[in-house]
Amino acid sequence: MKVLLINPPCGIRTIGLKNLTKIEPLNLELLGATIKDRHEVRLVDMEVAPKDLSRMLVDFKPDIVGVTSEVVHVETAKQALAVTRLSAPDCLTVVGGHHPTVCPDDFLDPLIDLIVQGEGTESFAEICDARASGATSYSHIAGLMIRDGDRLVATARRPLPLTLDHQPMPDRSLTSRYRSRYYYLWEKRIAAVRSSVGCSFPCVFCSPRIYSHGGFIPRSPELLLEEIAGLEEEFIYLCDDHAFHDPDRMLRLADMLLSAGIKKRYFTYARVDSIVENRELFALWARAGLQLVMSGIESLDYEALKRTGKRVDQGQNVEALNILGELGIGMSAGFLVEDNFTRKDFARIDNFVKQHPAIILTEYTPLTPLPGTVLHRKVKDDIITEDRQFYDLQHFLMSTRTSTKDLYRMMRDAYGRVVWRAFLRVGLWKPSNWSWHYVKMIRGLVRNFFALGQADAEMKKAVARQDSRSL
């Protein structure tokens, strides 16, 4: 079978990292690796080359098309399938990934034949094999949602695996023509590696914990060492939800990387309490090359921090920052933007950031009810738009006490200060650090700046469109 895998672009109104970072579609590289011995596989990354799809459809004529989707890709994934169906009307269309797993209803659409939930590699391989042997029904394959008229019918449950060790090495040759275009902010050439998935903490706004049913699924250090050692890129984006969930595993991995003399630099997400509780482990990781961690500081206010269900306190936030500062690891610190924020609240965060030089970057996030989360269930009736391109953790999806126009402006100005601080703290001004891809980064910053300026008006238009449809 000819199998085409598509990474769709983000929605046009989406703001944030989409304009500042491009990362290989590791999910599709894993799917491709799983089936490549039996099927012919191609991959189109529309995030970096949106026009490639039409060209590929003419050349390749796929029998099966697999599209991945996060929440902000719901419409663009469907658009990609609409284009596909024009050239290949008989191809089998399959959607999978994070958002179809936590919110399959968003993909109930005649353009989509099958929805794969969860880890998906085995289900997808079974779908391709069944299609190759002439199947027209897929209801015997576990882990799917199949459209039946205007509803979705689930096939048998496919339990989540206990480890990720059954998955093959991602087939990075599928993205060879795009690799030079992947970057992470100021890092020029990067690779993504997944060392685990899931997290068992109870944060009410968290989508990954819903995906993993509150479980933590690791890949073994031996396989990770092999994968990392084989990478050409020096900067590695460990795209776990909480890589340090099991400190012993991370200790073994750091030891193995150091013993093997592998010199790479790493970014990952880490909870502040795991930093505080595992100082020596982070010291080891600093030696192994850990350069930047993303942590949710969330709030400087005791009650607001408690409301997140995150179970960390301000003392741990500060201690984690001190530890990282001593170890020379930077933090990208996430802060929630409350709906009653004023300039004073942003100034308070600025002061906090000034006092903690370990903070290299600051991210501002309005509390976002991602579908499937506990928070979404709680506030469902207060959400003002169903248009998923706005579910980017940068838009206000519920009514606010401070006017949204002011909130977006304050966020835009705060990001301006973040850029200036990063410029100084990372030393981006030094000519020796210059890279041509900074042009893309600066273009992305300008796009985000204007998009935040327009965000209020764009949201109001989206709400009006929705209201007129429901009349």
Shortest distance (Å) from residue 271 CB to ligand SF4? 5
Cβ(333)–Cβ(353) below 8 Å: yes
Residues from 303 through 332 that contact ligand SF4 (CB under 6 A) = 310
Sheet holding 190-193, edge to edge: 190-193, 235-238, 265-269, 290-298, 330-337, 359-366
Residue 209 site contact among ligand SF4, ligand B12, none (CB < 5 to 8 Å, cut-off depends on kind): ligand SF4
Of the candidates 45, 54, 40, the one whose C-alpha atom is nearest the C-alpha of residue 8 is 45
Q: Which of residues 26-45 bind ligand B12 (CB under 6 A)?
A: 26-27, 30-31
Q: Does 241 bind ligand SF4 (CB under 6 A)?
A: yes
Q: Give yes or no for residue 271 binding ligand SF4 (CB under 6 A).
A: yes
Interface region with ligand SF4, contact rule CB under 6 A, candidates 24-32, 54-62, 129-137, 203-211: 203-211
In the list ligand SF4, ligand B12, none, the entry touching 98 (Cβ below 5 to 8 angstroms by class) is ligand B12
* Residues of this chain, 369-428, that bind ligand B12 according to CB under 6 A: 370, 392-394
Identify which range of 95-103, 151-159, 166-174, 197-205 contacts ligand SF4 by CB under 6 A: 197-205
Using CB under 6 A as the binding rule, whether residue 209 contacts ligand SF4 is answered as yes
d(CA 357, CA 243): 24
* Contact with ligand B12 (CB under 6 A) among 8, 32, 62, 97: 97
CA distance linking residue 332 with residue 355, whole number of Å: 15
Cα 395–Cα 204–Cα 462 angle in degrees, nearest 5 = 25
Q: Got the DSSP string for 290-329?
A: EEEEEEEEE-SSHHHHHHTT----HHHHHHHHHHHHHHT-
Q: Which of ligand SF4, ligand B12, none does residue 10 bind to, with CB < 5 to 8 Å depending on kind? A: ligand B12
- Distance of closest approach, residue 346 Cβ to ligand B12, in angstroms: 19
Choose, by CB under 6 A, the member of 116, 199, 281, 452 that binds ligand SF4: 199
Q: Is 194 in the site for ligand SF4 (CB under 6 A)?
A: no
Closest CB to ligand SF4 among 365 and 435? 365
In eight-state DSSP terms, residue 7 is E
Q: Which does 271 bind (CB under 5 to 8 A by kind): ligand B12, ligand SF4, none?
A: ligand SF4
What values do phi and psi take at 382, rounded to 5? Answer: -95, -5
Helix, strand, coil abundance in the chain, percent, nearest 5: 45, 20, 35
Identify the residue among 187, 241, 387, 458 touching ligand B12 (CB under 6 A): 241
Q: Does 104 bind ligand B12 (CB under 6 A)?
A: no
Q: To 5 degrees, how large is the angle CA 31–CA 10–CA 231? A: 45
Which lies closer to ligand B12 via its Cβ, residue 71 or residue 257?
A: 71
DSSP character for 50? T
| Residues 178, 440: Cα–Cα separation, whole Å | 15
Give the separation between CA 254 and CA 287, rounded to whole angstroms.
Answer: 9
Distances from the Cα of 55 to the Cα of 51, 52, 59, 77, 83, angstroms: 7, 5, 6, 17, 11
Question: What minimum distance in Å lies between the beta carbon of 363 and ligand SF4?
Answer: 13
Contact between 39 and ligand SF4 by CB under 6 A: the answer reads no
Q: Which residue is nearest to ligand B12 (CB)?
A: 96
Q: Which does 203 bind (CB under 5 to 8 A by kind): ligand SF4, ligand B12, none?
A: ligand SF4
> How near is the Cβ of 372 to ligand SF4 at its closest, in Å?
12
Selected from 206, 236, 253, 275, the binder of ligand SF4 by CB under 6 A is 206
CA–CA gap between residue 471 and residue 469 (Å, rounded): 6
| Of 361, 324, 311, the residue nearest 206 (C-alpha) | 311
Which residues of this protein are in contact with ligand SF4, per CB under 6 A?
199, 201, 203, 206, 208-209, 241-242, 271, 310
